[in-house]
């Protein structure tokens, strides 16, 4: 056990900083003042920041430390990003080593790390080709454009030529905030200021195949779906729903795109979220955990999609950046070690059981515990009967970091390297918090 833990979390060597300069002191003394003076207010300081004055200075494994040295168990992972935990030494060394070699060459030239990463992603998946970019929203932009190119290709010379442009997305779905991905994102409050967005995208009810049947036609070039809606409340797709989407896509020669930005790369206990369903998408998008905390996005595509993409039809300066890909290579190596996903599944079952026990204990406070199919992933939504903001804030004072997915849903996505002790500590803290709060 100890050996496997050492493998999961390579022994750490965190560089603890001391805060001495005047600017250091100004920052750690009152981060809110600097934020308010210098940073554009895209994030609501009251809604997002859980504790005034809190500033994280370093991390180690599943723990974060604030400027006063207080330790926090991280059950947020920077929104499902830091799968290997913080400051993994092998990951950090790979970044430093690559920085000493070459940091950037652009896609006009080759460098080793993206080629290695491409090989690892393809050989560990059922896809044929990859496109690298820098974030989840960019991955979905690219997937949308590739689907449109595929639509153009298959419609060419038929009565559908120029008309296979319709895309179905889902109510409650979130795919990013750049204009193309925002067009695929449902939440009216974040879409409406930017209307008109990309046309010919319609929204169907999630987990309602009849609604999709009513919208799909031969004009549809793609359906985009999250295997588990993350921002939409950690809502898993039903098995028959995803299978049905695949069949509808087959009937209408449309592509099935799975947005795996949040469910991808071990979060559900499998390498990819769609594997839990036994459904084969034509494209998937990846981002958050792929480089262990550095910005990256990727589209994995079957050859019939990749073949529709022509040189010059899409691109990005930083996509496949050598440093970021060097980091992602470490993540992929770790995730594909035989014991890694077994560990995730074991910890996932433990967390699921702990949450279900809390639901039994607090039936008037916990309405539903939402888990990936198989209940063996480190991903959960705890739907409560009232707003969970006070619970999130209370957990911070207890040294536990969590996030929400909607007003009444606690979202849990810890680093995949947590151990039994961490899960038990988290469940105990949540138990105490639920006991102390009326919801
Ligand atoms: C399912 C899903 N897709 C896309 C995105 C957008 O990713 P990014 O914030 O990296 O652009 C997110 C972000 O939360 C997400 O959860």
Per-residue confidence at 389, pLDDT binned at 50, 70, 90? Answer: very high
Domain 2-80+338-436 fold: 3.90.1150
| b/e burial code for range 417-435 (CB count within 10 A of at least 16 → b) | bbbeebbebbbebbeebbe
Ligand 1 pocket, residue 287 CB under 6 Å: yes
Ligand 1 pocket, residue 175 CB under 6 Å: yes
CA–CA separation, 240 vs 397, rounded Å? 42
- Domain layout of the chain by residue ranges: 2-80+338-436, 91-335
pLDDT tens-digit map of 44-64: 876 667 788 899 999 999 999
CA–CA separation, 295 vs 113, rounded Å? 15
Fold: same for 2-80+338-436 and 91-335: no
Which atom of ligand 1 lies nearest, measured to the CA of 79? Answer: 14
- For the domain bounded by 91-335, which CATH number is listed? 3.40.640.10
In the chain the first and final C-alpha atoms are separated, in Å, by 39
Instruction: Give strand ranges (E) for 171-314.
Output: 201-204, 220-225, 228-229, 235-236, 255-259, 283-286, 297-301
Residue 6 has pLDDT above 50, yes or no: no
Residue 14 has pLDDT above 70, yes or no: no
Ligand 1 pocket, residue 231 CB under 6 Å: yes
pLDDT tens-digit map of 197-237: 999 999 999 999 999 999 999 999 999 999 999 999 999 99
Q: Which of 48, 80, 136 to mutate to test the pocket of ligand 1 (most atoms within 8 A of CB)?
A: 136
Quote the pLDDT of residue 7.
Answer: 57
Structure tokens at 338: 């035989």
| Cβ neighbours, 10 Å, residue 355 | 23
Quote the pLDDT of residue 16.
Answer: 57
Ligand 1 pocket, residue 261 CB under 6 Å: yes
CA–CA separation, 407 vs 169, rounded Å? 23
Ligand 1 pocket, residue 141 CB under 6 Å: no
Which atom of ligand 1 lies nearest, measured to the CA of 287? Answer: 10
Give 38 Cα–ligand 1 centroid separation in angstroms: 25
């Amino acid at each position: 056990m100890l050996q496997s833990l050492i493998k999961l979390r390579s022994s750490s060597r965190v560089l603890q900083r001391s805060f001495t300069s005047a600017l250091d002191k100004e920052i750690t003394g009152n981060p809110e003042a600097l934020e308010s003076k210098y940073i554009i207010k895209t994030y609501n300081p009251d809604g997002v920041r859980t504790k005034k004055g809190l500033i994280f200075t370093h991390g180690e494994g599943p723990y974060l430390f604030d400027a006063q040295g207080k330790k926090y168990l991280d059950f947020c992972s920077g929104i499902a990003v830091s799968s290997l935990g913080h400051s993994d030494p092998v990951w950090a060394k790979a970044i430093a080593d690559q920085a000493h070699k070459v940091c950037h060459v652009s896609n006009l030239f080759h460098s080793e790390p993206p080629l290695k990463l491409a090989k690892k992603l393809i050989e560990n998946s059922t896809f044929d080709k990859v496109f690298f970019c820098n974030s989840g929203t960019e991955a979905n932009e690219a997937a949308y454009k590739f689907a449109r190119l595929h639509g153009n290709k298959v419609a060419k010379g038929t009565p559908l030529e120029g008309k296979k442009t319709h895309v179905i997305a889902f109510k409650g779905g979130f795919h990013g905030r750049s204009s193309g991905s925002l067009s695929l994102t449902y939440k009216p409050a974040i879409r409406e200021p930017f209307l008109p967005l990309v046309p010919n995208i319609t929204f169907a009810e999630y987990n309602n195949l009849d609604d999709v049947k009513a919208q799909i036609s031969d004009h549809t070039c793609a359906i985009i779906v999250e295997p588990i809606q993350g921002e939409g409340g950690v809502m898993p797709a039903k098995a028959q729903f995803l299978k049905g989407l695949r069949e509808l896509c087959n009937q209408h020669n449309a592509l099935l795109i799975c947005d795996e930005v949040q469910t991808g790369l071990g979060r559900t206990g499998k390498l990819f979220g769609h594997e839990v369903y036994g459904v084969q998408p034509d494209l998937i998008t990846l981002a958050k955990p792929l480089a262990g905390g550095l910005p990256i996005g990727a589209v994995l595509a079957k050859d019939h999609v990749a073949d529709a993409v022509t040189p010059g039809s899409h691109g990005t300066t930083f996509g496949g950046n050598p440093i970021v890909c060097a980091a992602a290579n470490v993540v992929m190596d770790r995730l594909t070690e035989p014991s890694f996903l077994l560990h995730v599944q074991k910890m996932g079952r433990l967390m699921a059981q702990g949450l279900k026990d809390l639901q039994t204990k607090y039936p008037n406070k916990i309405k539903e515990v939402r888990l990936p199919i198989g209940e063996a992933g480190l991903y959960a939504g705890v739907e409560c009967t009232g707003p969970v903001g006070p619970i999130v804030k209370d957990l911070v004072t207890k040294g536990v970091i969590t996030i929400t997915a909607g007003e009444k849903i606690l979202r849990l996505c810890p680093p995949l390297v947590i151990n039994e002790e961490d899960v038990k500590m988290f469940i105990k803290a949540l138990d105490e918090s639920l006991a102390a709060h009326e919801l």
